[in-house]
């Protein structure tokens, strides 16, 4: 019996005609179901192993008549291969769900959540930003096991296209850690980052600028005059950084609760240290004097260096821009004080282990790190006072004798 095919007008104007469901046939098992609430659904009616089944093909008019017929034809091809369209759809949906659960972004975020608590906050933020800005847009939704080396390389080439060669290498390192985590958790079998070794543009690692030891006196004298062009707080921050040679982030985030002034000690908590190990800084007489001045400037803030908002510390750039104003752009950074202190102290006889402990180049082993935080503390206290006296002598232009740790 010939079947009258539906028309667009019939689909558009069809009603249930008082029935709960009215089924309009278009042939080949395709029906438009018209419900009593006015909604319309495409269904495919078919038989498999002697049993009648049906499959949803979408909602009208989102799926028009032409598209519904195309979907019907696709599913009938599946039937022609003795497969159940409904079962195939469920399998495809399950596969899609599994792929989404094992996407690069899902695996990377899982890896990140397990690692972030071991990093200082700014490093954790950097890692996440590198993934979100450079990898997730193109590879985030891809199943991690399906990603191939040329795809990862293409994402990294975009970074190189911006001239950010060092960043490209850093992002590759992070991706390598994600792939290795995926291997360990059974989500993929191969670390693609290993395949890309040598594929990126080589980059020269730039060390942060630092003055040479013979240039240190002029720098210290320039800092001593900073009140003429900037704030007293910033001048004291630079001087205390030179005295203690801690990392810039460790200085600007300092809180008064960390200082044991009666014992001339500054105890930086593990959470603020790069190596996640508590660090002790013996304070010289000069450093204690600076802190007394800073206490007055802080006006009750919990931070040693409060910003305009006393509930937050000064920014990372405060001291860097101060060095720029003093004419040291490209010549000196906050980190440079660590380099110059290390150079001079190592050249003048102090025990290298004492210097390394004071620079907080700690052991990664947690138990040994907990011991090392106070190791050589008496020698370190003597060294820090010698260093402060040495810096004072340089500022005054006095004939300064080289420090000699062995005699300390």
91 touches 243 (CB < 8 A): no
Q: How far is CA 223 from CA 82, 304, 329, 393, in A?
A: 84, 19, 14, 15
User: Which candidate in 43, 274, 276, 331 is catalytic?
Assistant: 274
Concerning whether 169 is annotated as a catalytic residue, the answer is no
> Can you point out the beta strands (E) in 139-294?
259-260, 265-268, 279-282
From the candidates 40, 71, 247, 279, give the one annotated as an active-site residue.
247
The answer to whether the beta carbons of residues 397 and 368 sit under 8 Å apart is no
Question: What residues contact residue 92 under an 8 Å CB cut-off, 6+ apart?
Answer: none
Q: How far apart are the first and last CA of the chain?
A: 110
Tokens of 183: 């291997």
Catalytic status, residue 190: no
Neighbour tally for 396: CB within 10 Å: 12
Is 53 an annotated catalytic residue? no
274: annotated active-site residue: yes
- Tell me which of 371, 378, 396, 404 is the catalytic residue: 371
Residue 42: strand, helix, or coil: strand
347-353's contacts with Cβ under 8 Å and 24+ in sequence apart are: 347/213, 347/402, 348/402, 348/403, 348/404, 348/405, 349/402, 349/403, 349/404, 349/405, 349/406, 349/407, 350/383, 350/403, 350/404, 350/405, 350/406, 350/408, 351/376, 351/379, 351/405, 351/406
Q: Which is the catalytic residue, given 361, 378, 396, 404?
A: 361
Residues with Cβ within 8 Å of 98's Cβ and at least 6 positions away in sequence, in order, are none
Q: Is the peptide bond before 61 cis (omega within 30 degrees of 0)?
A: yes
Active-site choice (279, 338, 373, 380): 338
> What amino acid positions are annotated as catalytic residues?
247, 274, 335, 338, 361, 371
């Amino acid at each position: 019996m010939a079947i009258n095919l539906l028309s667009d007008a019939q689909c558009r104007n069809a009603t249930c005609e008082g029935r709960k469901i009215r089924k309009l046939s278009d042939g080949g098992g395709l029906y438009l179901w018209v419900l009593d609430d006015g909604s319309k659904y495409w269904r495919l009616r078919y038989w498999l192993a002697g049993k009648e089944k049906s499959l949803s093909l979408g909602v009208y008019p989102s799926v028009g008549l032409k598209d519904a017929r195309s979907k019907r034809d696709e599913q009938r091809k599946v039937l022609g291969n003795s497969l159940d369209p409904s079962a195939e759809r469920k399998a495809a949906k399950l596969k899609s769900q599994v792929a989404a659960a094992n996407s690069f972004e899902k695996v990377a975020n899982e890896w990140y959540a397990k690692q972030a608590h071991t990093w200082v906050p700014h490093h954790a933020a950097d890692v996440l930003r590198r993934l979100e800005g450079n990898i997730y847009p193109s590879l985030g939704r891809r199943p991690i096991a399906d990603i191939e080396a040329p795809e990862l390389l293409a994402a990294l080439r975009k970074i190189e296209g911006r001239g950010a060669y060092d960043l490209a290498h850093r992002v590759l390192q992070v991706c390598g850690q994600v792939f290795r985590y995926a291997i360990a958790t059974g989500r993929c079998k191969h670390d693609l980052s290993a395949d890309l070794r040598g594929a990126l543009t080589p980059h020269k690692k730039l060390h942060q600028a630092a003055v040479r030891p013979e240039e240190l006196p002029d720098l210290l004298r320039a800092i001593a005059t900073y009140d003429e062009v900037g704030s007293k707080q910033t001048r004291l921050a630079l001087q205390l950084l030179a005295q203690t040679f801690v990392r810039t982030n460790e200085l600007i985030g300092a809180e008064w609760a960390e200082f044991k002034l009666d014992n001339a000690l500054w105890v930086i908590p593990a959470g603020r240290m790069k190596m996640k190990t508590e660090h002790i800084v013996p304070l010289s007489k000069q450093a204690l004097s600076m802190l007394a001045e800073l206490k007055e400037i802080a006006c009750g803030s919990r931070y040693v260096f409060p910003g305009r908002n006393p509930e937050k510390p000064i920014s990372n750039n405060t001291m860097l821009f101060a060095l720029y104003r003093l004419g040291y752009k490209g010549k000196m950074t906050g980190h440079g004080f660590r380099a110059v202190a290390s150079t001079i102290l190592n050249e003048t006889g102090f025990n290298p282990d004492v210097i390394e402990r004071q620079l907080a180049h700690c052991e990664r082993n947690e138990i040994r790190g907990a011991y090392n935080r106070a190791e050589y503390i008496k020698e370190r206290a003597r060294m820090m006072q010698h260093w402060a006296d040495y810096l004072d002598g340089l500022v005054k232009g006095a004939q300064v004798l080289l420090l000699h740790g062995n005699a300390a």
